[in-house]
């Protein structure tokens, strides 16, 4: 069987380094926050070419804290794509603000042409998601944000190491949120998240918010949260960060083969924007008869997955926002027809060839 994702193969390659690092954490009992987290933050900020980084407990918290650091609160509106993982919207809602969804472009990312008409006097920010590992159209989105005095935020949860016009994600807007959920391109061995910014003041504020609103123990300057990163996770992430570029390179090679060798007429391949250098967290195709394609691949012993079968604006949790089917045709088409093919750095060439062969047998 060819799995959609196999985390075990990667683990066997770094097992010794991770265990040695964990011994240090255990010896120093540096479990919640602490020096191992700081060391990872420094490395990650350098990797993303940003001034600073903060390590937190989940990507969802990273989005929430990013919103809080920009002062977003009740009555405010934030524009985001309907085609994303739901957590992009949670961060807005947790602050008491309202998510305002927009449709996606041909690259499955937030369509800059759909944004401007949604701006009101309450709009405070635009969140561009670099979905599936492909940077969104940052220049156009930033220009709209600048024109209207809005913040531009990156949801880079799927795009560690991706580049836009040569520049890493994480430093392309006012602030960026990352997830280190185990299956992400840079994944912890448990939950994890991070925030990067070129603005050190925002990161300092987040470091206080994640730590009960406190800089000095038992003195709480504002309503805070317990959202620190674990020392054990920071060690895993710091080890993995050294290999991230090589792993992303391998993902790009697999994607290049899928893009050139899959040629079944019923399978529509993803498009890459000329300004984007994606890291292929996911390889998402669209197929009119999706169920038949999934069954065909399963018959060939190949796992597939769906990202994402229900667009955010049609989730029950957001029924109160009043969106109806038909609101965002491209996002809804994608939700109904997307299929993600196996994609992880440790796939063998034989497995890649088998996926291509099976896909090309689909009629
Ligand atoms: C994974 C993900 C998140 C949430 O991250 P968690 O670490 O799972 O909380 C947010 N946005 C996107 C686009 C994601 O893929």
Cβ atoms of residues 103 and 111 within 8 Å? yes
Ligand 1 pocket test, pick from 61, 62, 87 with the greatest ligand atom count within 8 Å of Cβ, gives: 87
CA distance 263 to 280: 19
pLDDT in tens, 29-62: 999 999 999 999 999 999 999 999 999 999 999 9
Ligand 1 neighbour 129 (Cβ under 6 A): yes
The finding on whether 154 has its CB within 6 A of some atom of ligand 1 is: no
As a CATH number, domain 244-360 is 3.90.1150.10
Residues 6+ apart with CB under 8 A from 50: 168, 170, 171, 176, 196, 197, 198
How many CB atoms are located within 10 Å of the residue 46 CB? 11
Q: With helix as H, strand as E and coil as C, how does 280-307 read?
A: CCCEEEEECCHHHHHHHHHHCCECCECC
For CATH 3.90.1150.10, list the domain ranges present in the chain. 244-360
Give per-residue pLDDT as tens, 110-131: 999 999 999 999 999 999 999 9
Ligand 1, atom 6: nearest CA belongs to which residue? 59
pLDDT tens for the chain, 363 residues: list them: 999 999 999 999 999 999 999 999 999 999 999 999 999 999 999 999 999 999 999 999 999 999 999 999 999 999 999 999 999 999 999 999 999 999 999 999 999 999 999 999 999 999 999 999 999 999 999 999 999 999 999 999 999 999 999 999 999 999 999 999 999 999 999 999 999 999 999 999 999 999 999 999 999 999 999 999 999 999 999 999 999 999 999 999 999 999 999 999 999 999 999 999 999 999 999 999 999 999 999 999 999 999 999 999 999 999 999 999 999 999 999 999 999 999 999 999 999 999 999 999 998
**CATH architecture of the domain with residue range 7-241:** 3-Layer(aba) Sandwich (3.40)
Q: What is the pLDDT of residues 131-172, one digit of tens each?
A: 999 999 999 999 999 999 999 999 999 999 999 999 999 999
233 lines ligand 1 (CB under 6 A): no
Tell me the pTM: 0.98
CATH 3.40.640.10 in the chain is located at: 7-241
Rounded to the nearest integer, the mean pLDDT of the chain is 98
Q: What is the pLDDT of residue 353?
A: 98
Indicate if ligand 1 lies below 6 Å from the C-beta of 133.
no
């Amino acid at each position: 069987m060819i799995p959609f994702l196999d985390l075990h193969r990667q683990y066997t390659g770094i097992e010794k380094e991770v265990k040695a690092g964990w011994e240090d954490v255990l010896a120093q009992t540096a479990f919640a926050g602490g020096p191992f987290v700081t060391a990872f933050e420094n490395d990650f900020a350098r990797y993303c070419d940003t001034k600073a980084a903060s390590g937190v407990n989940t990507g969802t918290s990273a989005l929430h804290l990013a919103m809080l650091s920009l002062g977003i609160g009740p009555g405010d509106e934030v524009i985001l794509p309907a085609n994303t993982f739901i957590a992009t919207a949670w961060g807005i809602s947790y602050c008491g603000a309202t998510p305002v969804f927009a449709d996606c472009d041909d690259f499955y990312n937030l369509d800059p042409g759909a944004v401007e008409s949604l701006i009101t006097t309450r709009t405070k920010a635009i969140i561009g998601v670099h979905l599936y590992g492909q940077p969104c159209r940052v220049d156009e989105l930033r220009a709209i944000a600048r024109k209207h005095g809005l913040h531009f935020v990156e949801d880079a949860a799927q795009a560690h190491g991706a580049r836009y016009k040569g520049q890493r994600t994480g430093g392309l807007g006012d602030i960026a949120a990352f997830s280190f959920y185990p299956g992400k391109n840079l994944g912890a061995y448990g939950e994890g998240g991070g925030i990067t910014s070129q603005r050190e003041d925002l990161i300092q504020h987040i470091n206080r918010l994640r730590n009960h609103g406190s800089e000095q123990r038992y003195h709480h300057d504002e309503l805070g949260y317990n959202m620190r990163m674990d020392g054990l996770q920071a060690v895993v992430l710091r080890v993995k960060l050294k290999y991230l570029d090589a792993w992303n390179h391998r993902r790009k090679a697999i994607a290049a083969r899928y893009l050139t060798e899959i040629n079944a007429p019923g399978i529509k391949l993803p498009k890459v924007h000329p300004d984007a250098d994606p890291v292929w967290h996911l390889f998402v195709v669209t197929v009119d008869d999706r169920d038949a394609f999934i069954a065909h691949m399963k018959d060939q012993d190949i796992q597939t997955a769906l990202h994402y079968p229900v667009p955010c604006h049609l989730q029950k949790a957001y029924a109160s926002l009043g969106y109806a089917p038909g609101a965002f045709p491209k996002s809804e088409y994608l939700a109904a027809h997307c299929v993600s093919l196996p994609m992880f750095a440790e796939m063998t060439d034989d497995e890649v060839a088998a996926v291509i062969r099976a896909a090309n047998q689909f009629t």
